[in-house]
Structure 1
Amino acid sequence: MRQVTVLGSCGAYPEPGRACSGFLVEWDGFRLVLDLGYATLPRLLNHCPDGAVDAVVITHEHPDHCIDLHGLFRMRLYGAGDGSRLPLYCTPGVLSRLSGLEPEADLRTVFDVHELPGAYPVGPFELGGVLLPHHVANAGVRLRNDQVVLAYTGDTGPDPLLAELGRDSDLYIMEATDRKGELREPHRNLLTAEEAGHWATRAGTRRLMLTHFWPGNDRAVSVAAARSAFDGEILIADEDLVVPLDPA
């Protein structure tokens, strides 16, 4: 299988029946997780019994993107782990934030930690990325091989680096929070759906997936806003949606 499965799509906190940010990327048996926010771990286990994944990438330390990584840590520490350390690629604040939950437990006993942003071979992919504007250090992520390019913003304000992150990608997963009052903020740290469409166009991506919806927002309205700035295919990141990773 070569696909992306949506584990969660909400920003801040999960709506009923949903989860916060999380995606499962599968490529010929290799399984990589992008973010593990609130309520994503049970959904991941539906697809990967015993948490059998090959790598985890966490964009930043906010709990709606990383909190269930601690659940995966406990699962591998006390239950399903085979003793090997799981490669974890994350910004430095992730470990310090999660270590505060259980200071006596060393997360590095389970995870082989690599700092983002950086360039790494990860299974069938080359992992790269850039720092993007947010309240804390956030790494936009780019996964590529000789057949496909997948990009993911994590959380970000508007920035020219968004065009480079998603350049000529086959799938660009972009936050479209549309939080009320965000446009009045002096320092922008989140995107609107229209801005996501704008940067997707600048990047030349083939498909745009909108995610990180603020709870209560009408997702159809977000799609319409993105459509005003992007002419390509637009997907809504609904839980359990499966998107083939097919090249153009």
Structure 2
Amino acid sequence: MRITVLGKSPAWQDAGGACSGYLVEEDGTQVLLDCGNGVFSKLRRYTDYVDIDAVVVSHMHADHFLDLVPFSYALIYAPRQQPVPVDRWPGTDNPARPRLLLPPGGRDVLRRVVGSWGNEDLVEQAFVMEEYAPSDQFTFGTLQVRFQPVPHYLPTNAVDVSSTNGGGRFTFGADHRPSEELTAFAKGTDLLMLEATLPRPERNGVRGHLTPGEAGEHGNLAEAGKLVLTHISDEMDEEWASQEAARAFGGPVHVAHEGDIYEV
């Protein structure tokens, strides 16, 4: 299984960067995990967007789903997707319509967002859309996907992708405050990718994110084979963040960069 980091920024993008987006591939199957702002253009550097089998969204915050909008426009209006010949494209009666898995309520969120300036069913025209329950499991080729609710500001799910073909296991924590549910869900995973958004805990109110040190603690409790910090700004000192996490994790910790490829 190969995981390519398309975007790793938090809610504000790095200079030239993209928000949450990860391409997971094995044996010709391609699953896009999250599609935050900036991710669609990054995706096109690595694969043809019509070859994506499914998009899985962890939660309905803009930095995790907003580029479903340009992705939808491409699937509907691109020359290759038309029923008649356009330029070098021969025309097709079977335009690509990847599956789109959203958390409960995701359809209504997208309709409100897109409906503010146009057809509210834009994304539904482009994708085969369905809302998943956290207890659901899905299989795409040799990739099995399952979910675990984690505590954030709105319903959010960590996502686990495992191979049925002798590959490994990848667990993405999405966004969350300190969570025993996450460490139990990720127990023994080969690659654990956790957010490390904050240099210190939130000043006040309900918590929704981790510090690098807390990410390291979670990786240690989960007994992960490898820990990668993501959802982290280029304004955060990378060396400091990795050292904070490594101290708690008990081993080396990587900080995600766009274009990084991990194999498990």
Give the TM-score normalised by the residue count of structure 1. Answer: 0.91
Deviation for aligned residue 1:215: 5.0
Determine which of 97, 102, 106 is the counterpart of 2:109. 97
Q: CA separation in 2, counterparts of 1:180 and 1:233?
A: 21
Determine which of 151, 175, 182 is the counterpart of 2:195. 175
Residues 176-214 of structure 1 deviation map (CA, whole Å, 9 limit, x = unaligned): 1015551x4342211111111111111111001100014
Q: Which moved more, 1:90-99 or 1:199-208?
A: 90-99
Q: CA separation in 2, counterparts of 1:5 and 1:151?
A: 14
Q: Which moved more, 1:224-233 or 1:173-182?
A: 173-182
Partner of 2:154: 136
Q: 1:116 to 1:10 in 2, by over 3 A?
A: farther
Partner of 1:166: 186
Q: CA separation in 2, counterparts of 1:164 and 1:111?
A: 33
Determine which of 192, 211, 214 is the counterpart of 1:195. 214
Say if 1:59 and 1:141, in contact at 8 Å, map to a contact too. Answer: yes
Unaligned runs of 5+ in 1: none
Determine which of 78, 91, 99 is the counterpart of 1:87. 99
1:115 aligns with 2:135: no
Say if 2:112 and 2:120, in contact at 8 Å, map to a contact too. Answer: no
- SS of the equivalent of 1:140 reads strand
Partner of 1:220: 239
Say if 2:138 and 2:144, in contact at 8 Å, map to a contact too. Answer: yes
Partner of 2:71: 72
Deviation for aligned residue 1:148: 1.2
Q: Which moved more, 1:223-232 or 1:97-106?
A: 97-106
Partner of 1:240: 259
Q: How many residues align?
A: 243
- SS of the equivalent of 2:242 reads helix
Q: Which moved more, 1:99-108 or 1:44-53?
A: 99-108
Root mean square deviation of aligned Cα: 1.8
Give the TM-score normalised by the residue count of structure 2. Answer: 0.86
1:157 aligns with 2:173: no
Q: 1:84 to 1:239 in 2, by over 3 A?
A: closer
- SS of the equivalent of 2:55 reads strand
Residues 105-124 of structure 1 deviation map (CA, whole Å, 9 limit, x = unaligned): 42222222241422122221
Residues 147-189 of structure 1 deviation map (CA, whole Å, 9 limit, x = unaligned): 311100111111111112211111111001015551x434221
Unaligned runs of 5+ in 2: 82-93
- SS of the equivalent of 1:202 reads helix
Q: CA separation in 2, counterparts of 1:19 and 1:110?
A: 22
Partner of 2:163: 145
- SS of the equivalent of 2:148 reads strand
Q: CA separation in 1, counterparts of 2:210 and 2:49?
A: 35
Q: CA separation in 1, counterparts of 2:200 and 2:215?
A: 16
Q: 1:188 to 1:101 in 2, by over 3 A?
A: closer
- SS of the equivalent of 2:34 reads strand
1:49 aligns with 2:48: yes
Deviation for aligned residue 1:56: 0.7
Deviation for aligned residue 1:71: 1.2
One-letter code aligned to 1:211: T
> Which entry has the higher C-alpha Rg, 1 or 2?
2
